[in-house]
Amino acid sequence: MAILTVMSYDCYMAAWYKVIISVSSLLLNHTFITEFLLLGVTDIQELNPILFVMVLAMYFINVFGNGAIMMIVILDSRLYSPMYFFLGNLACLDICFSTVTVPKMLENFFSTSKAISFLGCITQLHFFHFLGCTDALLLTVMAFDRFVAICRPLHYPSIMNRQVCIQVAATIWAIPFLHALVHSIMTSQLNFCGSNRIHHFFCDVKPLLELACGNTELNRWLLNTLAGTIGIGLFFLTFLSYFYIVTYLFLKTRSCSMLHKALSTCASHFMVVMIFYAPVLFIYINPDSGSSLEKDRIIAVMYTVVTPALNPLIYALRNKEVRCALNRKLRILL
């Protein structure tokens, strides 16, 4: 019995020894990544100073322009309405959305390391998808707000009261956080070995999947399904709201001044929607391929840098109430 016990023990230790050897061999053959290298917008180093100045200028326009809109929406009592409440949320969102990617992008234009930690990369990915999805939801809610205001004016105060607006705002900030959490958790669970060079200027799901070892089909399916469904669904709802608005105005409105005012307000919203959705849908509905990453980098500049800077210009130039409120505040300050 003692001999059998010793033999069993020897067999047990031999089996564990083989497991340890196998795991050690696996670890030696794979270099697990603790940081990534962001290669930036372009591989042409001579363009970096020019791009730095352009991106920095757009970021300043974004911060100061959207900051001014937030200030007048908060301080001017004449703008205490659902439309401007959501506009203030959009201004805050645009600043946050660009701040997730642009500062690191500016740093890497002249940085030699271009490194970002694994945790920093996943954090950036999470907040990028969180704020991007929030942006899409907010634009849809703003379109619905205009639909109710124009097509159901008598019911507007009861439908879009202050309590409802606060609840809607809380919802459109909370749901995207959970949506982004799915992507960040699923991506963080992947094994990254070998190359740590991300062909992008920020951490996104598609470039990281190109570096992952093992099966990434579930991650790709989640990206295409969730991003595709949410993006197309929200775009359809937004487009439907504006379609009903335009149809209602042409069929019901007989006043040319009222028609012009309503169409002017809707045109500002719809312009922002098209500028936001055009590059986003191209990237996330486009089939995954390594050859598309170069185009993805260029298009991503549009919705992370250019679009947030254009939004305050569009609303300030096309919205009479915003222009008047801004002029009043400037006269007080000066």
Each residue's pLDDT tens digit, 149-165: 888 888 899 999 999 99
Distance CA 102, CA 305 (A): 7
63 has a pLDDT exceeding 60:
yes
Percent of the chain with pLDDT over 70: 81
Higher per-residue confidence, 293 vs 269: 269
- The secondary structure of 30-70 as a DSSP string is --B-SEEEE--S-S-GGGHHHHHHHHHHHHHHHHHHHHHHH
For Cα atoms 105, 39, 33, give the angle at the middle one, nearest 5 degrees: 105
- Highest mean pLDDT pick, 54-58, 153-157, 212-216: 54-58
Mean pLDDT, range 28-32, rounded to an integer: 45
Distance CA 113, CA 104 (A): 12
Judged by average pLDDT, the poorest of 139-148, 178-187, 252-261 is 252-261
Torsion angle in degrees (nearest 10) through CA of 147, 150, 155, 157: 90
pLDDT band at 21 (very low <50, low <70, confident <90, very high): very low
12 has a pLDDT exceeding 70:
no
Residue located via tokens 């929200």:
234
The residues, any chain, with a CB within 8 Å of residue 280's CB and separated by 6 or more, are: 132, 136, 231, 303
258 has a pLDDT exceeding 70:
no
Higher per-residue confidence, 262 vs 204: 204
Each residue's pLDDT tens digit, 219-249: 888 888 877 788 888 888 988 988 888 888 7
In terms of Cα–Cα distance, which of 67, 120, 71 is closest to 94? Answer: 67
Read off the tokens for 23: 């795991």
CATH for the stretch 31-333: 1.20.1070.10
